[in-house]
């Protein structure tokens, strides 16, 4: 694919390989013989054997994610029970993603200059401290403040993990590694709230806080077993904090894979915001299915997310990135559109599984595009810039979706979201043209010094 003069790993479109014999297959008069492909599940299990450090990261992400979503329910219930106020719950949700915006705008270069392993461990220990303090909070304001501190730590943890992942596994295994990591994150998104709801209803939020604190200790201990050099080739050299920030923004603007994610996923996030805001109204008002219907739609989305992210790795090994990316976004559009016109919540839930599968696959594509489109010394700030931009889009989309839902109803909001997702799919197919990265890419060269950067 065409690359800017920014020193990325070279990329080779699959079209350039046409006419060459498959390796290690043998070409003969009857065509090309290819060795049998090992079953997908077996290959995924072999990845843990080939890279024990990836196994540590996988378990750390599972424990951290399960505790986080378990505590999400506890935090929400705790704040609402203390205040019986929607604005306070909104403040809690804002406190969760607002720090990510700040990190992307101000602190992104730290993900490249400092040890990613120690940043992730420090984030876990900070969140451990926060959740040990939460049982002693006496007001909603204290809870929201502590939640913001936890959100700030999470804003360092996730980009550190995803920026370091390409150094833990062979490049050919990267799609499956992303697939497995995203699958376990999606599984915790489904299981965590369920377990949290049971815990909070039986013993109150404090038990959930203590359990979550323990998961962060386990996560930190697992991360300490990963050699620091495997999460980061070497710390990036700083040219001054402002120049480092500008280099990250310039990278996202000029690198085609990163620009693709910036444009496409920000458009898709506007649609996701509408779907999330109007989902409860769709279930309770449009389908008259009550709280059960809302829970059914959420569970269906979680099931689709897990299935889509699990399938994405094998798909990315067999198909072009643009085909999987555009197709996944199109699947989101189709599922959302069909759910909008469904006659009842059961049909809608089946459609939401489809859209969730597209969503799960798209997120894996996003991570892979960033990991292969940015050199290691700039990858951390690339993730933070993109995560902060999507957080802004999500917040803006939620504000707009609330107004449109009140004015037009949930079905119309989901229909509009489907149209926006169709636009994102078209953009993905167009912008991702030729971004398939060669499996064996040479080491990235340093970003050249540009005047003013």
DSSP characters over 104-116 = IIIITTHHHHS-H
Same domain? 100 vs 225: yes
Residue 225 confidence (pLDDT) above 80: yes
Closest by alpha carbon to 178, among 352, 445, 437, 422? 437
- CATH code of the domain containing 416: 1.20.1250.20
pLDDT at 446: 42
Residue 67 confidence (pLDDT) above 50: yes
Q: Could you tell me which residues come within 8 angstroms of residue 350 by beta carbon, excluding any fewer than 6 positions away? A: 300
Same domain? 329 vs 202: no
Distance, C-alpha 301 to centroid of its chain: 15
Last residue within a domain, chosen from 203, 235, 267: 235
- The answer to whether the beta carbons of residues 429 and 322 sit under 8 Å apart is yes
DSSP 7-64: -PPP---GGGGTTSPPSS-EEETTEEE-PPPPPHHHHHHHHHHH-HHHHHHHHHHHHH
pLDDT at 29: 39
Q: Exposure string (b/e) for 343-353, b if CB count within 10 Å is 16 or more?
A: eebeebbebbb
- The answer to whether the beta carbons of residues 91 and 144 sit under 8 Å apart is yes
Residue 428 lies in a domain: yes
Quick: pLDDT tens for 165-178: 998 888 888 999 99
Residue 12 lies in a domain: no
Helix spans in 204-289 (H): 205-224, 241-254, 256-281
- The answer to whether the beta carbons of residues 248 and 384 sit under 8 Å apart is yes
Same domain? 228 vs 362: no
Total domains in the fold of the chain: 2
pLDDT at 43: 67
d(CA 140, CA 158): 26
Quick: pLDDT tens for 416-448: 999 999 999 999 999 988 776 544 333 444 444
Residue 255 lies in a domain: yes
Same domain? 287 vs 200: no
More confident residue, 189 or 390: 390
Same domain? 280 vs 251: yes
Residue 13 confidence (pLDDT) above 90: no
Residue 231 confidence (pLDDT) above 90: no
Residue 14 lies in a domain: no
Question: Mean pLDDT throughout 99-113?
Answer: 87
| Torsion angle defined by CA atoms of residues 73, 76, 78 and 80, in that order, rounded to the nearest 10 degrees | -140
Same domain? 261 vs 192: no
Last residue within a domain, chosen from 235, 255, 285: 235
Question: Mean pLDDT throughout 78-91?
Answer: 83
Residue 449 confidence (pLDDT) above 60: no
Kindly report which listed range (17-21, 57-61, 129-133, 385-389) carries the lowest average pLDDT score: 17-21
- The answer to whether the beta carbons of residues 1 and 11 sit under 8 Å apart is yes
pLDDT at 241: 85
pLDDT at 445: 40
Closest by alpha carbon to 153, among 82, 238, 227, 213? 213
Same domain? 286 vs 427: yes
Last residue within a domain, chosen from 177, 204, 235: 235
Q: How confident is the model at residue 88 (pLDDT cuts 50, 70, 90)?
A: confident
Residue 39 confidence (pLDDT) above 60: no
Residue 186 confidence (pLDDT) above 90: no
Residue 5 confidence (pLDDT) above 70: no
Structural domain harbouring 263: 238-440
Residue 41 lies in a domain: no
> What whole-number percentage of the chain has pLDDT above 90?
44
Residue 3 lies in a domain: no
Same domain? 216 vs 288: no
pLDDT at 177: 92
Residue 63 confidence (pLDDT) above 90: no
Residue 147 lies in a domain: yes
Q: How many CB atoms lie within 10 A of CB 400?
A: 16
Same domain? 265 vs 377: yes
Q: How many CB atoms lie within 10 A of CB 238?
A: 13
Residue 11 confidence (pLDDT) above 60: no
d(CA 426, CA 420): 10
Residue 35 confidence (pLDDT) above 80: no
More confident residue, 86 or 439: 86
pLDDT at 190: 78
pLDDT at 339: 96
- The answer to whether the beta carbons of residues 381 and 111 sit under 8 Å apart is yes
Q: Could you tell me which residues come within 8 angstroms of residue 209 by beta carbon, excluding any fewer than 6 positions away? A: 71, 74, 131, 132, 134, 135
Q: How confident is the model at residue 382 (pLDDT cuts 50, 70, 90)?
A: very high
pLDDT at 40: 57
Residue 2 confidence (pLDDT) above 50: no
More confident residue, 232 or 411: 411
Question: Mean pLDDT throughout 316-345?
Answer: 94
d(CA 388, CA 401): 20
CB neighbour class for 399 (10 Å; exposed up to 12, middle 13-18, buried from 19): exposed
Taking the chain, what is the end-to-end CA distance rounded to the nearest angstrom?
Answer: 25
Question: Mean pLDDT throughout 180-209?
Answer: 86
Give ∠ CA 168-233-53 in degrees, rounded to 5. 25
Same domain? 285 vs 224: no
d(CA 118, CA 160): 9
Q: How confident is the model at residue 393 (pLDDT cuts 50, 70, 90)?
A: very high
Residue 22 confidence (pLDDT) above 70: no
Closest by alpha carbon to 174, among 436, 358, 437, 368? 368
Kindly report which listed range (70-79, 190-199, 204-213, 342-351) carries the lowest average pLDDT score: 190-199
Residue 27 confidence (pLDDT) above 50: no
pLDDT at 41: 60
Residue 90 Ramachandran class (φ > 0 left, ψ -120 to 50 alpha, else beta): alpha
Question: Mean pLDDT throughout 38-65?
Answer: 80
Residue 25 lies in a domain: no
d(CA 104, CA 114): 15
* Average pLDDT in the chain: 83
Same domain? 209 vs 141: yes
Same domain? 117 vs 183: yes
Q: Pick the most confident of 38-52, 318-332, 436-450.
A: 318-332
């Amino acid at each position: 694919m065409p690359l800017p003069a920014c020193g990325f790993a070279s990329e080779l479109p699959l079209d350039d390989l046409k006419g060459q014999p498959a390796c290690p297959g043998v070409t003969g008069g009857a065509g090309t013989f290819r060795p049998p492909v090992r079953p997908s599940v077996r290959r995924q299990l072999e990845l843990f054997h080939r890279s024990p450090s990836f196994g540590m990261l996988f378990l750390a992400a599972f424990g951290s994610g399960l505790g986080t979503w378990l505590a999400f329910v506890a935090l929400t219930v705790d704040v609402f029970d203390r205040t019986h106020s929607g604005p306070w719950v909104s403040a809690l949700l804002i406190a969760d993603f607002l720090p990510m915006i700040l990190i992307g705008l101000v602190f992104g270069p730290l993900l490249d200059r400092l040890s990613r392993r120690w940043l992730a461990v420090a984030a876990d220990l900070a969140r451990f401290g926060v959740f040990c303090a939460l049982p002693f909070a006496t007001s909603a304001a204290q809870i929201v403040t502590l939640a913001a501190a936890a959100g700030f730590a999470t804003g360092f943890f996730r980009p550190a993990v995803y920026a370091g992942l390409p150094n833990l596994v062979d490049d050919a295994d990267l799609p499956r590694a992303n697939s497995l990591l995203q699958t376990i994150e999606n599984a915790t998104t489904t299981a965590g709230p369920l377990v949290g709801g049971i815990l909070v209803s039986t013993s109150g939020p404090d038990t959930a806080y203590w359990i979550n604190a323990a998961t962060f200790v386990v996560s930190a201990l697992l991360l300490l077993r990963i050699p620091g050099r495997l999460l980061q080739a070497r710390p990036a050299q700083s040219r001054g904090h402002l120049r480092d920030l500008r280099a990250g923004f310039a990278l996202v603007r000029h690198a085609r894979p990163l620009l693709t994610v910036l444009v496409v996923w920000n458009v898709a996030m506007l649609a996701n915001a509408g779907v999330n805001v109007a989902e409860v109204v769709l279930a309770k008002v449009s389908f008259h299915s009550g709280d059960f219907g809302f829970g059914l739609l959420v569970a269906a989305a979680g099931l689709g997310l897990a299935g889509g992210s699990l399938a994405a790795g094998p798909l990315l090994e067999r198909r072009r990135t643009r085909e999987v990316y555009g197709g996944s976004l199109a699947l989101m559009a189709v599922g959302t559109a069909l759910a909008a016109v469904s006659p009842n919540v059961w049909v809608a839930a089946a459609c939401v599984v489809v859209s969730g599968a597209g969503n799960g696959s798209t997120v894996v594509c996003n991570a892979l595009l960033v990991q292969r489109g940015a050199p290691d010394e700039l990858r951390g700030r690339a993730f933070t810039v993109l995560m902060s931009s999507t957080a802004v889009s999500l917040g803006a989309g939620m504000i707009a979706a609330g107004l449109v839902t009140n004015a037009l109803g949930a079905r119309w909001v989901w229909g509009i979201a489907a149209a926006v997702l169709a636009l994102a799919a078209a953009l993905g197919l167009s912008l991702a043209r030729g971004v398939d990265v060669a499996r064996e890419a040479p080491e990235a060269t340093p970003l050249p010094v540009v005047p003013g950067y």
